[in-house]
Amino acid sequence: MNQDIRIDIARAKSAAVGQPHGITPAEFDEIEPHIAEAHAILCKERENKAYGFWDLYKDEAAFQSVENAAADFLNRGYENLVILGIGGSALGTTALTTALLPPFYNLMTRRRRKNHPRIFVMDNIDPVTFRTMMRLCSPEKTLYNVISKSGGTAETMSQLMIVVEMIEKKVGAEAMAEHVVVTSNPRSDDAPPSHLHPVADQYKLTEFTVPLNVGGRFSVFSPVGMFPAAMLGMDIDGIREGCAAMDQRCATSDLKENPAYLRAAVQYLMDTAKDKNISVMMPYADSLRDVADWYRQLWAESLGKRWSLDGEEVYTGQTPVKALGATDQHSQIQLYREGPNDKIINILEVRKFDTNLRIPDTLGSIKSLDYLRGSTMNKLMAAELRGTMDALKLSKRPVSRIVLPRINGHTVAQLLYMLEVETAMAGRLYNVNTFDQPGVEEGKQIARRLMGGQG
Ligand code: PA5
C-alpha cells in the first residue's frame, strides 16, 4: 500500500476562494525563485551540519543505544515511564504517544499494553498534577526519563529534585540508576554545561545526548523522543523509514514535488500577501490532536521573531492555533467562517481509520435519524470533514489539506518530518533565525532571578 502522505492546496488558491484571499498562479510563480534560493542555503546548512534535525533518523549509533537501553529497562518490568521535561523536551513524546498508542492506553491492562509501561509526560510544574503523578506512580515501579537539552531549565530541575528525594527515601540512593535516565547536551567544551551531567556522574545514570546542532522543538527523532518511543514499543523502524521517505521527497526545490516547500510557500504567502496571520492546525482524528500541539510550538517559536537575519526589526510569525475536528466544529467554525478572514486552516485528514464502527439500526421510531442508521462513524467523520471544507470555501476561507493514508509510525514520522522541513523553509522565506528562541530564554532567566538564582 502506498504510505505517502498527500498535500492538497487547491482550496488555498484564488480559483477556489477568490481574490484577495487565495493565492494566484502569478504569486506561485513569483515565489519559486525564492524557494530555490532558500533551498540552496538550507542544503548548505545541512551539509555544514549547522542544524542537525534533517539527519537524526540516520544516526545508527543513537538508535542502537536507545534500543539497547530500552530492551534492558523493559526486562526489569517497570509499570510506569515518567518523562520530566518541558517544551521541545516533552511535546514530541506527547505527540507520538497520542498518535501511535491506543486511546486510553494507561487504563489498559499490562497484557493489553504488551508489557510496556504506562506513560506520564510531566511537562508542567502544577503542584497538584505532579503530586497526583507521585501518588499514582510508586518509585519502585517507575522509570523516570529526565530530559533537558540545556540541563538548566528550572521547571525540569525542580521536578528532578522532587523525584530524587522520593527515590532516595523509598528505594534508596544506590538504586537511582535503576530509576532515572538522563537526556541532555553532549559533554563537550563547546556545549553549555548541563546540570544533568554531574547528577548522572553522582548516581551513575544511563545518559543519552541531544546533538548540539538540534534545538528542542526539532528533537523528536533524537533520543529525546526515541527512547520513550522504544520503551513504549513503537515501530522505530517504521518511524525511521517515514523520515527517510519524506527526506527524499524534500530533496528538490520544485514546488510540485516537495510537499514541505509547497506548504511553506502557501503559509508564508497567506501571512505576508493575504493577511492570514493565524495558522490553524485541525486534525480530524483524536490521535493527531497532540501533533497539532507540537506543531504550535514548532511554528510559534521558530518564526515568531523580532529581528531578521539582517538585523532589521521585523516582528514576524503567524499565530498557530490548534483545533480538533469534528469536536471544534461546534466551538470554532462559527468564528472561522464568519469572523475575520485572517486564517489559513490546515486540515489533517486520515483516509482509513484502524477500525470501522457501524451505527446500528436502533431508535427506529425517529425517522429523521434514518440517514445515520446502517452507516458508520467513519463515514460520518469523512462527511463532517468534507462539509467543513466546503462550508469554509463558501465563506472564502483558505484551506490547506494534509492526507494521511492511515495512522502508523511511517505516516506520522513523514508528517512531523515534513512540518520540520516546512518550518525551516518558512524561516528562510521570512529571513529570520528559525532555530533560536531568545524570547523564551529571557523569560527563563527572569524566573530564575525571581527565585533567587542567577539569571
Ligand atoms: O524548543 C525549545 O528550544 C524549547 O521549547 C525548549 O525545548 C524548552 O525550553 C526546554 O528546554 P530544555 O530542553 O533545555 O530544558
- Angular region, 311: left φ>0, alpha ψ -120 to 50, beta rest: left
Among 145, 146, 150, 434, which is best to mutate for testing ligand 1, by the most ligand atoms less than 8 A from CB?
A: 150
Residue-level pLDDT at 231: 98
pTM higher than the cut 0.95: yes
| Residue 455 belongs to some domain of the structure | no
Name the grid cell of 290.
497532540
Asked if residues 75 and 267 have their Cβ atoms less than 8 Å apart, the reply is no
CA distance 326 to 21: 25
Residue 350: inside a domain: yes
Residue 444 lies in a domain: no
Q: Best substitution site from 423, 436, 440 to test ligand 1's pocket, by max atoms within 8 Å of Cβ?
A: 440
What is the Cβ-side half-sphere exposure of residue 366, based on CA atoms within 13 angstroms?
8
The catalytically annotated residue of 34, 141, 195, 444 is 444
Same-domain pairing of 68 and 39: no
Whether 228 is in the pocket of ligand 1, judged by its Cβ within 6 Å, is: no
Q: Are 259 and 9 within 8 A, CB to CB? A: no
* Backbone phi and psi for residue 407, each to the nearest 5 degrees, phi listed first: -100, 120
The answer to whether 39 is a known catalytic residue is: no
Q: What is the pLDDT of residue 213?
A: 96
Task: Look at residue 200 and tell me if it is in a domain.
Answer: yes
* CA 215 to ligand 1: nearest atom: 3
Is the domain of 287 the same as that of 316? yes
Q: In this structure, are residues 415 and 291 in contact, taking their beta carbons and an 8 Å threshold?
A: yes
Task: For residues 253 and 130, state if they share a domain.
Answer: no
The number of domains in the chain is 2
Domain boundary among 181, 214, 234: 234
| 339 CA distance to ligand 1 middle (Å) | 34
Q: Are residues 68 and 110 in the same domain?
A: yes
Is residue 197 annotated as a catalytic residue, yes or no? no
* 305 is annotated as an active-site residue: no
Instruction: Tell me the best of 94, 149, 210, 298 to mutate to test the pocket of ligand 1, counting ligand atoms within 8 Å of each CB and taking the most.
Output: 149
Ligand 1 near 142 CB (within 6 A): no
Ligand 1 mean position, distance from CA 400 (Å): 29
- The separation between CA 75 and the C-alpha centre of its own chain, rounded to angstroms, equals 29
Specify the ligand 1 atom closest to the Cα of 147. 13
Beta partners for residue 278, in sequence order: 319, 343
Q: Is residue 294 part of a domain?
A: yes
Residue nearest (by alpha carbon) to ligand 1 atom 5: 87
Instruction: Tell the residue nearest (CA) to atom 2 of ligand 1.
Output: 216
pLDDT for the residue 445: 82
The verdict on 390 and 255 lying in the same domain is yes
* CB neighbourhood size of 347 (10 A): 22
The end-to-end CA distance of the chain, in Å, is 54
Q: What is the CATH number of the domain that holds 370?
A: 3.40.50.10490
Q: What is the DSSP letter of 313?
A: B
CA of residue 101 relative to chain centroid, distance: 15
Residue ranges making up the domain that contains 147:
53-234
Whether residue 302 has its Cβ less than 6 Å from ligand 1: no
CB 425, CB 35: distance < 8 Å: yes
- CA–centroid distance, 85 to ligand 1, in Å, is 8
CB 404 within 8 A of CB 5: yes
Residue 87 Cβ contacting ligand 1 at under 6 Å: yes
Give SS3 for 314.
coil
* Residues 166 and 246 grouped into a single domain: no
Identified catalytic residue from 114, 256, 330, 367: 330
Q: Give the end of a domain, one of 234, 260, 281.
A: 234
Q: Are residues 77 and 139 in contact, defined by beta-carbon separation less than 8 angstroms?
A: no
Nearest to 280 by CA among 242, 337, 235: 337
pLDDT value of residue 207: 98
Q: Which of 187, 217, 234 is the last residue in one of the domains?
A: 234
Q: Are strands 278-283 and 343-352 parallel, antiparallel or unpaired?
A: parallel
110 vs 265: CA distance, rounded Å: 46
Residues 246 and 219 in one domain: no
Q: How far is it, in rounded angstroms, from Cα 185 to Cα 156?
A: 14
Q: Report the alpha-carbon distance of residue 382 to residue 331 in Å, rounded.
A: 19
Q: Give the position, in ligand 1's atom list, of the atom nearest the Cα of 87.
A: 5
- Residues 19, 82, single domain; the answer is no
Catalytic residue selected from 301, 349, 420, 422: 301
In a domain, 448, yes or no: no
Q: What is the pLDDT of residue 320?
A: 98
Domain co-membership, 199 together with 244? no
- Is it true that the peptide bond before 326 is cis, omega within 30 degrees of 0? yes
Q: What is the C-alpha to C-alpha distance for residues 144 and 294, in angstroms, rounded to an integer?
A: 22
Ligand 1 contact, 423 CB (< 6 A): no
Clarify whether residues 149 and 246 are in a common domain.
Answer: no
Grid-cell match 502506498, residue found: 2
Instruction: Please tell me whether residues 181 and 256 are part of one structural domain.
Output: no
Cβ 231 vs Cβ 237: under 8 Å: no
The answer to whether 85 and 210 are in contact (CB under 8 A) is no
- Residue 447 within a domain: no
- Cα separation, 289 vs 407, in Å, equals 12
- Shared domain for 223 and 276, answered yes or no, is no
pLDDT tens-digit profile, the chain (455 residues): 789 999 999 999 999 999 999 999 999 999 999 999 999 999 999 999 999 999 999 999 999 999 999 999 999 999 999 999 999 999 999 999 999 999 999 999 999 999 999 999 999 999 999 999 999 999 999 999 999 999 999 999 999 999 999 999 999 999 999 999 999 999 998 888 899 999 999 999 999 999 999 999 999 999 999 999 999 999 999 999 999 999 999 999 999 999 999 999 999 999 999 999 999 999 999 999 999 999 999 999 999 999 999 999 999 999 999 999 999 999 999 999 999 999 999 999 999 999 999 999 999 999 999 999 999 999 999 999 999 999 999 999 999 999 999 999 999 999 999 999 999 999 999 999 999 988 887 887 888 888 888 76
Sheet containing 142-147: order of strands = 118-122, 80-84, 142-147, 180-184, 206-209
